[in-house]
């Protein structure tokens, strides 16, 4: 179960890296039209990365406290993930902003960067994140 948690965590991280890269490439860090606050994005990323490092150490040390620490780090990661997911939903459901008389570049500037996230990547990231959380808590309960 511990290795399964590691695998799902790594798959989740790949999807997260893809979305983070897309968000940065489309200007998310500069603020602008993004509905995802920079501290929330990077807090989610840093806590998830810290939890993954703790989990890898747990795999070698086999100390129950490390498993519970990794789980404790995943809880705010999940909370921030839900916040971002619901903000992303509001962006994807909103009609495209098309300023009157503006060329295509102005429309691109008015489009939130998270609107470019592929739906399968967002859904896969969320599903693997839930699986990771469940596997981590089950492994922690067994240790």
- H/E/C letters for each residue in 13-64? HHHHHHHHHHHHHCCHHHCCCCCCCHHHHHHHHHHHHHHHHHHHHHHHHCCH
DSSP one-letter code for 94: S
Residue 46 corresponds to which tokens in the numbers above? Answer: 């840093």
* Rounded average pLDDT over 71-99: 87
Residue 131: band (very low, low, confident or very high) from pLDDT cuts 50, 70, 90: very high
Residue 100: band (very low, low, confident or very high) from pLDDT cuts 50, 70, 90: very low
* Rounded average pLDDT over 61-78: 97
């Amino acid at each position: 179960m511990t290795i399964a948690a590691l695998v799902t965590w790594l798959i989740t991280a790949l999807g997260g890296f893809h979305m983070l890269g897309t968000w940065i490439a489309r200007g998310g860090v500069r603020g602008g039209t993004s509905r995802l606050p920079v501290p929330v994005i990077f807090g989610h990323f840093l806590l998830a990365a810290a939890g993954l490092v703790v989990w890898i150490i747990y795999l070698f040390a086999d100390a129950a406290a490390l498993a519970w620490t990794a789980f404790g780090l995943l809880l705010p990661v999940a909370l921030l993930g839900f916040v971002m997911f619901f903000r992303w939903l509001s962006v994807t459901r909103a009609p495209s902003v098309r300023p009157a008389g503006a060329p295509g570049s102005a429309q691109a500037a008015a489009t939130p960067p998270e609107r470019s996230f592929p739906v399968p990547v967002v859904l896969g990231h969320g599903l693997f994140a839930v699986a990771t959380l469940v596997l981590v808590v089950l492994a922690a309960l067994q240790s």
